[in-house]
Amino acid sequence: MDLGLKDKVAIVTGAGGDAMGTGVCLDLAREGACIITNDVDREWADKVAKQVVDLGARAVPTYADVTKLADCREMVRTTLDAFNRVDILVTIPAYPKLGWFIDSSEEELHRIVDVTFWGVVNAVRAALDPMIEQKSGSIVCLGSDAGKVAPHREVMYGTAKAAVMHFVKGLATEMGPHGIRINVVNAAVTKVPQMVQSGWLTPEKEARLSQQYPLRRLGTPQDHVDSILFLCSERAGYITGQTLSVSGGAI
């Protein structure tokens, strides 16, 4: 299926980590898009940009801290200098720190919200100006079903992800008349490299968790990448303000 993404200009925040952000960058590149690979970790931003170029697409790395609106505005200025427009924004970053609310420090609670919610708001706000001028654009925010089910030991993370869904729903009504679509792809527990490398996701734990899902497996980064690319594309041209749970049927 041709997604019509050739020569589109896409910003991906949280491009590093060999998980969803990296996968989105590489699959957008395979579709012929030009990519801004943004990550606060400069090595990751540069590494993914090189991978995009190796696929034959154009890429520019940026290093915005998405908790700062000024950084996000600079990221967008760099995009406009390089490619003259912004067609797509995909926001990936989150800070899913587990812990009991009552035991969490003020600093930890603010960090969760700053990255998980304000990191989305700042990137979106910065990207909207050129999109409004163009009268077109597609924004996809990576969410989490933690924002729906409020799992224990994730009070602030779940709250921040619920806020992302509400933000997107409300903003879609404002941006629709400007030709801009904005949606959320919610993840459940996803088997990402960091989980395995850290030892958190053992084979035994994966087998146990998989039983909670009707499809009897955990999600993979590619499961989410596929859904994100669809919503970025004009194949989803009449979809906005929606939250899609990519959760193996759990939600």
Is residue 231 included in any domain, yes or no?
A: yes
**Which band of pLDDT confidence, cut at 50, 70 and 90, is reported for residue 152?**
confident
As for how many domains the chain has, the answer is 1
Q: Please tell me the predicted confidence (pLDDT) of residue 76.
A: 98
> What pLDDT sits at residue 196?
79
Sign, CA dihedral 155-242-123-171, equals negative
What does the pLDDT look like over 217-236, one tens digit per residue?
Answer: 998 999 999 999 999 999 99
Whether 77 is in a domain gets the answer yes
157 pLDDT more than 80: yes
The answer as to whether 204 is a domain residue is: no
Measure the CA–CA gap between 137 and 222, rounded to whole angstroms. Answer: 23
The mean pLDDT value for 170-197 works out to 92
Question: 189-196, long-range: CB within 8 Å, 24+ apart, which pairs?
Answer: 189/218, 189/219, 190/19, 190/20, 190/218, 190/219, 190/220, 190/221, 190/223, 190/224, 191/218, 191/219, 191/220, 191/221, 192/17, 192/18, 192/19, 192/20, 192/221, 193/17, 193/18, 193/19, 194/17, 194/19
3-state DSSP call for residue 246?
strand
Residue 235 lies in a domain: yes
26 inside domain: yes
Domain presence at residue 228: yes
CA–CA distance, 37 with 61 (Å, rounded to integer):
5
Average pLDDT over residues 195-209: 85
In a domain, 196, yes or no: no
Q: What is the domain range of residue 111? A: 9-190+221-246
Confirm whether 201 is domain-assigned: no
pLDDT band at 201 (very low <50, low <70, confident <90, very high): confident
Residues catalogued as catalytic: 157
Q: With cut-offs at 50, 70 and 90, classify the pLDDT of residue 163.
A: very high
The domain that holds 43 is classified in CATH as 3.40.50.720
64-79 pLDDT, tens digit per residue, is 999 999 999 999 999 9
